[in-house]
Structure 1
Amino acid sequence: MMGIYNALFTGASGLKAFGESVRVIGDNIANVNSLGFKSQNMQFSSVLSQTIGVTKANIANQVGGGVKIGQIAQDNRQGSVQNTTNPTDMAINGNGLFALKDPASGQTFYTRAGSFILDKNSNLIDGQGNVVQGWATNTTGLATGNITNITFANSSAQAQATTKVTAGVTIDATAPIVNAPAFDPADPTTYSYKTQVNAYDSLGSVHPVNIYYSKTAANQWSWHAGASSVDLIGGGATPESLVVGPNAYNVANPALPPGVGGVGQPGVQITKGTKFNVDVTIDGAALPAGTAVAVGTKTAAGGIVATPTPAQAALTLQVTRGNVMTPVAAGTANSQSLAFGNTGELTVERSPLVNFQWKSAVASTIQFNFGAATTTDSTGITGTGFDGTVQMAGSFATSKMTTDGFASGFLDKLDTDSTGTIYGVFTNGQRRPMFQVALAKFSNDAVLTKVGNNLQQQTIASGAPILEKPSNGGMGSITPFGLEQSNVDLGTEFVKLIVSQRGYEANSKTILTTDQMLSSLMQLKR
């Protein structure tokens, strides 16, 4: 009798177990489109058996007591990644969970669902308002400091003054030699070609800077750089010097009018002289603050060097009014010069620093780079001579003109890479790293507590989280513009559903058969 009654409970345990199995399978099927969802599989376990006797060989005869739920195991296999158009959507390829913090309660949650947006305060959040955790980065993208909320409030890019200009220009080898007495930016006959680049001061204001190229001899060029007098206090290019030759000449009272950009250009050129004396007189009202007068000597192409020493050439400066600076200069005629080889390659580049005295900001010094010459250039680099400015027969053309300066700007959009580094793209065209997302791992991710909304929390069994950067410490990488889908396999779930259904039916048969047996027993009384 007891065995028959126990059979009823055995069948009932089967109904309960397979009913729960269908529930787990149904949950998997229901979450087939849930982001980052991991399917579960119910594992059965036998109930404690009952010993009903012992054989002569001292072997116990045991009968099972039915079935129960042994464990509901989580399948942590990678889900497929679906591409999106949102730059803050991220999918984890490999191990790890995103760390999120509830700003109200301070609780930390973990998820594989990387669908993130910016809230009204520019915090990076999930759909429930939990803030994504990560590290702030420096300008090189290196994560620094402690884990913090990822927020882009008050993000801006400060202006950076231009310190370097890189020019790639094709110079016409067939251009005629410029025979003008002196370079004058206001006179197009004193130069062969002009191009322009925008330079930024320390406040982010933009100033057009003109670069002039003058052919001085075959394969020989000089260059000048200057800005408008509207932008400058004074000095936009290296001041030009009077040029001397083999025979002496006397010039009485040559006028030296100030040139465009505040740089005085010589009003007369002295040629064919071996030595000379120069008296400079500044007439009229007092000079404005910041005005300077420089006198020196340099040689023209094919000339000689005249250094201002008593043995070679004497320079005398007489000033009747104003502040005076008297530097001594010696060197080649075109300290700002370019030379080319027979195949058009840049063989010599002389590019001294050019100082700009901006009216609206502090002065800045700009290095002009015309390419890596075949001989060591002003930056100490030797190259092929073809990576920047070259000389070819044909027309002038500017192929490249870049600077390292920029105006201030505000955050325009975000961008993410495979390391989880989030870049800010600003209205001034700059792109800089700002944050790197944190990934968490546990000793056992499968035993985290599910709290809904694709979120999980740590448990005693899971252990404490270890926070690492993507692609480091066994963590997976990040797929930007992507979301991890559920790893539920519908085909497998349907097969398990059929098995569970048949198992449930079979256990119901156990109960039905036992009931019939009990009915037969009750009929014995008749």
Structure 2
Amino acid sequence: MMRSLWAGVSGLQAHQVAMDVEGNNIANVNTAGFKYSRVNFSDLLSQTSQIATAPQGELGGQNPTQVGLGTQVSSITKIFKQGSVETTDKNTDLAIQNDGFFVVSPDGGKTDKFTRNGDFVFDADGNFVDSNGYIVQGWLQDTDTKQIDTNAPIQNITIDPGMTTPANPTSSVTIKANLNSGPSVTNKSLIYQLDSTGANTDGNKEVAAGAPSALDVGTLFDETGTSLALKDGDNFSLIFDNGTPVTTTFTYGTGAGDFQTTEDLRSQIQAAISAQSTGATATVNSSGKFEITNPTGGSSLQVSVVAGSQNNQNLLDIMSPLQGTIPADGSTKITQSLYSATHSSSIDIYDSLGTKHTLQTNFRKISQDSSNSTWEMVISVPDPGEISTLAPKNYLATQITFNSDGSLATPSSLSINYTGNNGSTGNQTISLQMGTSNQFDGMTSFDATSSTTNLTQDGYTGGNLTGIKIDETGTLIGSFSNGRSFGLAQVAMASFANNQGLESVGNGTYIQTSNSGDPIIGQANTGTRGSVQASSLEMSNVDLSRSLTQLIVVQRGFQANSKTITTSDQMLQTLLQLKS
């Protein structure tokens, strides 16, 4: 009978512990990151009054006769079930989805604690801390490489609230554009005849347009943007008559005596009129027109424009205004305007001081054959900047070619040395990346409107830190007043072989034990570690409906055990009454 008393006492004690645990669960129903606990019971050693016997002949075996001695709390298990995630209005609040713990330290990383409560803030010194003042551990950006090395040891995450980023001089410009190869263009410019100094006939520097001194006439367009579409052998004739008619035929092609470029045609016209009138000149004027001038003292010229044996009506229409008389009094005759296919784009680049300069690229189609097309490319910067050792020093001309399928042929890149002449570091090397040769990942030349689809550069001016946001990998991304964003630090996460083996030390934190295993430190979203959700907190995983139901179960268990004691007491009282 005494055994039942002590069994009841053990039941009361065990259920008292269960009540304490459930009370703690309910008390922390609104504690961020809290994980509820469950009490597990087990029976005590039973008293054996008769051992088990094996079957003997015709007599069957007998089971042991045992009386249990009560119950005990065998373990209290922490349940690391995912809590619901609540969105907050604080961008430094972090919630973990799935497994893992944040790492915090109260002593600069000498000892680590682990938590699921991501209620973090920056203190006055820029330390990233939890509500206990423990500093969150992770990795910082390397000031030299600007990268975050997650293979390095973790340390305090501290970000200077007055952080600035220095200017980064441009080292690379990437351009992706299409230069129209078709028979009709919308982007076009007048052609010019340049002299050896780079000046056109009206004396203006034609730097921005980048026109070469000779253009393939077969690549030119009329004022409607329609290609002349010349083929080898296309020709026309000019008849000059100053008393004796002389016919000169001009044939487009690459053969001896043929013209191909604007300079070829101009010089052939010049030779023809010089033979008819002393001092007469043929030029290409600033309006993109061939111009014949007959000065005073020469011979009056009667000009006829005649279709050739292999007529090209477009070319004939261009030249037809030369028809008529040019008196020897300084009078002129001019053709219709000729245009070339062009395209321009510009981008701001930065020097070592963070000063912004405009880098302009201008393209003009200058030749085309059956295998490729060639465009003049002029790169220019505003004064007093320099990119060339030759005068004028603020522009550099080169050529870019394309294959017959529209892919880039050469070059794939071009380097320039920029000097701003404003106190910044000189000879700043800038690489202009135009794509991969024989590929379509950069510059192309298709039958489509000329357009720039992507133009980027890697420079920027200096800036001050204006805000921080955190991504799902736990990277703290700083936004600066210059419009740039950089990863400044990354929050470390820990996982354990046995989460239930961790020891709770209050304030929402845990420490490792011999049964939790060592922490495996790494990035979020790697290994068994979950992802990080910013502006969110993980709520307590306490289920009130379960906890309240468990209270009833524990209460009834406690009451039942108390009945065991009172009933045993009544039986003892009855026994004592036998003597009286």
In the superposition, the TM-score normalised over structure 2's length comes to 0.62
Equivalent residue runs for 1:177-256 within 5 Å: 178-181=191-194, 182=198, 192-217=342-367, 220-230=374-384, 232=385, 235-237=386-388, 239=390
Residue 505 of structure 2 aligns to a residue whose secondary structure is: strand
Change (3 A) 1:348 1:179: farther
Equivalent residue runs for 1:39-58 within 5 Å: 39-50=36-47, 53-54=49-50
- Could you tell me whether the CA contact under 8 Å between 2:38 and 2:78 is conserved in 1? yes
- Tell me the amino acid that sits aligned with residue 222 of structure 1: E
Change (3 A) 1:189 1:150: closer
Change (3 A) 1:447 1:179: same
Task: Give the equivalent residue in structure 2 for 1:26.
Answer: 23
- Could you tell me whether the CA contact under 8 Å between 2:83 and 2:541 is conserved in 1? yes
Task: Give the equivalent residue in structure 2 for 1:252.
Answer: none
Alpha-carbon distance between aligned partners in 2 of 1:59 and 1:187, rounded to the nearest angstrom: 110
Is 1:148 aligned to residue 211 of structure 2?
Answer: no
- Could you tell me whether the CA contact under 8 Å between 1:32 and 1:488 is conserved in 2? yes
Rg comparison, structure with higher value: 2
Structure 1 position 515, deviation (Å)? 3.6
Equivalent residue runs for 1:72-87 within 5 Å: 72-84=76-88, 86-87=90-91
Alpha-carbon distance between aligned partners in 1 of 2:21 and 2:354, rounded to the nearest angstrom: 62
Change (3 A) 1:176 1:133: closer
Alpha-carbon distance between aligned partners in 1 of 2:416 and 2:44, rounded to the nearest angstrom: 89
Match of 1:493 among 525, 547, 562: 547
Structure 1 position 357, deviation (Å)? 1.6
Residue 214 of structure 1 aligns to a residue whose secondary structure is: strand
Alpha-carbon distance between aligned partners in 1 of 2:486 and 2:21, rounded to the nearest angstrom: 46
Match of 2:532 among 460, 479, 485: 479
Is 1:96 aligned to residue 100 of structure 2?
Answer: yes
Structure 1 position 471, deviation (Å)? 4.8
Residue 146 of structure 1 aligns to a residue whose secondary structure is: coil
Equivalent residue runs for 1:127-166 within 5 Å: 127-138=131-142, 139-153=146-160, 155-166=163-174
Residue 142 of structure 1 aligns to a residue whose secondary structure is: coil
Structure 1 position 502, deviation (Å)? 2.1
Change (3 A) 1:342 1:262: closer
Q: How many residues align?
A: 419
Alpha-carbon distance between aligned partners in 1 of 2:365 and 2:518, rounded to the nearest angstrom: 73
Structure 1 position 198, deviation (Å)? 0.7
Task: Give the equivalent residue in structure 2 for 1:38.
Answer: 35
- Tell me the amino acid that sits aligned with residue 142 of structure 1: D
Change (3 A) 1:44 1:203: same
Task: Give the equivalent residue in structure 2 for 1:361.
Answer: 424
- Could you tell me whether the CA contact under 8 Å between 1:371 and 1:388 is conserved in 2? yes
Change (3 A) 1:494 1:342: same
Equivalent residue runs for 1:254-403 within 5 Å: 259=392, 336-340=398-402, 346-349=408-411, 352-359=414-421, 360-363=423-426, 364-372=428-436, 376=437, 382-384=438-440, 387-388=442-443, 390=445, 392=447, 397-403=451-457
Task: Give the equivalent residue in structure 2 for 1:69.
Answer: 73
- Tell me the amino acid that sits aligned with residue 228 of structure 1: P
- Could you tell me whether the CA contact under 8 Å between 1:134 and 1:437 is conserved in 2? yes
Alpha-carbon distance between aligned partners in 1 of 2:379 and 2:29, rounded to the nearest angstrom: 66
Alpha-carbon distance between aligned partners in 2 of 1:118 and 1:366, rounded to the nearest angstrom: 39
- Could you tell me whether the CA contact under 8 Å between 1:54 and 1:61 is conserved in 2? yes
Q: Deviations over 1:393-444 (max 9, x none)?
A: 65x6443221121222333333444444444343333333333333334554
Alpha-carbon distance between aligned partners in 2 of 1:189 and 1:236, rounded to the nearest angstrom: 17
Task: Give the equivalent residue in structure 1 for 2:9.
Answer: 12
Equivalent residue runs for 1:404-443 within 5 Å: 404-442=458-496
- Could you tell me whether the CA contact under 8 Å between 1:94 and 1:477 is conserved in 2? yes
- Tell me the amino acid that sits aligned with residue 348 of structure 2: N
Q: Deviations over 1:92-117 (max 9, x none)?
A: 44443222111489653211222322
Alpha-carbon distance between aligned partners in 2 of 1:97 and 1:143, rounded to the nearest angstrom: 16
Equivalent residue runs for 1:456-471 within 5 Å: 456-462=510-516, 464-471=518-525
Alpha-carbon distance between aligned partners in 1 of 2:360 and 2:50, rounded to the nearest angstrom: 107
- Could you tell me whether the CA contact under 8 Å between 2:104 and 2:134 is conserved in 1? yes
Alpha-carbon distance between aligned partners in 2 of 1:56 and 1:193, rounded to the nearest angstrom: 102
Change (3 A) 1:417 1:519: same
Structure 1 runs not aligned, ≥5 long? 240-257, 264-333, 377-381
In the superposition, the TM-score normalised over structure 1's length comes to 0.68
Alpha-carbon distance between aligned partners in 2 of 1:493 and 1:133, rounded to the nearest angstrom: 35
Alpha-carbon distance between aligned partners in 2 of 1:162 and 1:25, rounded to the nearest angstrom: 63
Residue 202 of structure 1 aligns to a residue whose secondary structure is: coil
- How large is the RMSD of aligned CA atoms in angstroms? 3.6
Task: Give the equivalent residue in structure 2 for 1:505.
Answer: 559
Alpha-carbon distance between aligned partners in 1 of 2:12 and 2:5, rounded to the nearest angstrom: 11
Residue 419 of structure 2 aligns to a residue whose secondary structure is: strand
- Could you tell me whether the CA contact under 8 Å between 1:177 and 1:215 is conserved in 2? no
Task: Give the equivalent residue in structure 2 for 1:316.
Answer: none
Structure 2 runs not aligned, ≥5 long? 54-61, 212-341
- Tell me the amino acid that sits aligned with residue 377 of structure 2: W
Structure 1 position 131, deviation (Å)? 0.5
Q: Deviations over 1:61-104 (max 9, x none)?
A: 54333222221112233334445565544344444322211148
Structure 1 position 519, deviation (Å)? 4.4
Alpha-carbon distance between aligned partners in 1 of 2:401 and 2:519, rounded to the nearest angstrom: 64
Structure 1 position 524, deviation (Å)? 4.8
- Tell me the amino acid that sits aligned with residue 156 of structure 2: N
Change (3 A) 1:86 1:349: farther
Task: Give the equivalent residue in structure 2 for 1:246.
Answer: none
- Tell me the amino acid that sits aligned with residue 356 of structure 2: V
Change (3 A) 1:71 1:188: closer
Structure 1 position 13, deviation (Å)? 2.5
Alpha-carbon distance between aligned partners in 1 of 2:412 and 2:517, rounded to the nearest angstrom: 65
Change (3 A) 1:188 1:90: closer
